[in-house]
Amino acid sequence: MAHRPIDYSLYLVTDRSLSRGRSTLEIVRAAVRGGVTCVQLREKTGSTRGFIEEAISVKAFLNSCGVPLIINDRVDVALAVAADGVHLGQTDMPLAAARSIAGTSMVIGISAESIRDAAEAQAAGADYLGVSPVFATPTKTDTAAPLGLAGLRAIRDAVEIPLVAIGGLNRSNAAEAIRNGADGIAVVSAIVAADDPEQAARAIRHEIDTARRPWV
């Protein structure tokens, strides 16, 4: 594929409603300083033009750090700003349609709430999966019942593509998610709403790195 490899280790998902008045770019800058390896820009409200303008400013910063930008839901916005990828939920544009538009220039991630979702997405050519929700989360109310670590492990056993665990992930449970098959940890409120997003990211990144050491 033409897209560059992506490190999903610590995957920030932005949420303006949780940022406590701070700008998305301010949160992203701090989070990357703390060790975030991938950023998904998620905007559920506002105009398309506003989304594109924000994406351009965030991407300019991320490019200077070598950190990839993923756009949530909007294939058109992802293409408009030449993002590294797009992430699609089960009710968003179908993967095949997105791939026909984007080609192989972008990674396409798919949200999976079950083994069936995961297997179908892998078969259809998804580059990675957002496995959700692993734990109960207050940031989304329309999700399925939590999968738990056993559910995460079952999906890991069923597919080969990278898995990013999302849903209630924070410093206290990131290591267990990695040990149960996640290639990366997606975090929303634990970084976006933190008093110090940089320090919050650094603490979670430490747990991820520690969990990967076979001698620990």
Active site residues: 42, 111, 140
Question: Residue by residue, what is the 3-state secondary structure of 75-87?
Answer: HHHHHHCCCCEEE
23 touches 53 (CB < 8 A): no
Rounded-to-integer distance, Cα 197 and Cα 125, Å: 34
Rounded-to-integer distance, Cα 25 and Cα 31, Å: 10
Q: Comparing C-alpha atoms, which of 15, 14, 8 is closest to residue 37?
A: 8
Q: Comparing C-alpha atoms, which of 172, 185, 86 is closest to residue 127?
A: 86
Q: Comparing C-alpha atoms, which of 85, 91, 63, 100 is closest to residue 162?
A: 85
139 touches 128 (CB < 8 A): no
